[in-house]
Amino acid sequence: MDVVARHIAAIDRLRALVLPEEGGVGYRAVVLESSQGLRAGDAGVRGRVVGDFHALREAIAGRLDERWGGGPGWGQVTLRVRLARGESIPEPWATLCLRADELDVWQGEDGVWVAVGVADRDVEDEVELVAAVTCTAPP
């Protein structure tokens, strides 16, 4: 199984889990892939890794676009501004906007939202390909 198919299978498994009812978390999130040991270090190496992760995200997005239709990436700057102003942003969107600059987002036929992004905003952290599923629409 190629890496894109493996990650899509992980997203499908995540979608198959029952999401908690009212009062529960309301979402599930997973790290699909991590840079495993790369932190601040060499900026050139980090830049290549970030580029590779974005290419992988785009490949996954292409396949999920075939399933649910596509659209432009969803930028996170506005959500960060709203958070900074003290607005309450529901999870997983609040956390995702702090970790990734852009998300690919889809709503499945069952009403479940899927988001995929590259968490690369903090050079002190690992670069991660992340996915989340939720019944809460993006704000």
Amino acid at 106: W
Q: Which residues pair with 103 in a beta bridge?
A: 74, 117
Helix boundaries (H) for the chain:
3-16, 43-68, 77-84, 93-99
Report pLDDT digits (tens) over 103-137. 999 998 888 899 999 999 888 888 999 999 998 88
Starting at the earlier edge strand, list the strands of the sheet with 74-75. 27-34, 128-134, 113-119, 100-107, 74-75
Report pLDDT digits (tens) over 73-94. 778 888 888 989 999 989 999 9
92 — alpha (psi -120 to 50), left (phi > 0) or beta? alpha
Which range, 16-25, 35-44, 66-75, is most confident? 66-75
Our separate counts of H helices and E strands in the chain read: 4, 5
Number of other residues whose CB lies within 10 A of the CB of residue 109: 7
Contacts of 64 by beta carbon, 8 Å cutoff, 6+ apart: 8, 11, 70, 104, 106, 114, 116
Give the pLDDT confidence score for residue 130 in this predicted structure.
97
Q: How confident is the model at residue 23 (pLDDT cuts 50, 70, 90)?
A: low
pTM: 0.88
**What mean pLDDT is predicted for residues 1-13?**
94
**Overall size of the chain counted in residues:** 139
Report pLDDT digits (tens) over 24-62. 568 899 999 999 876 656 667 778 888 999 999 999 999
Give the pLDDT confidence score for residue 134 in this predicted structure.
92
Q: Is the pLDDT of residue 8 over 80?
A: yes
Q: Is 77 exposed, middle or buried (0-12, 13-18, 19+ CB in 10 A)?
A: exposed
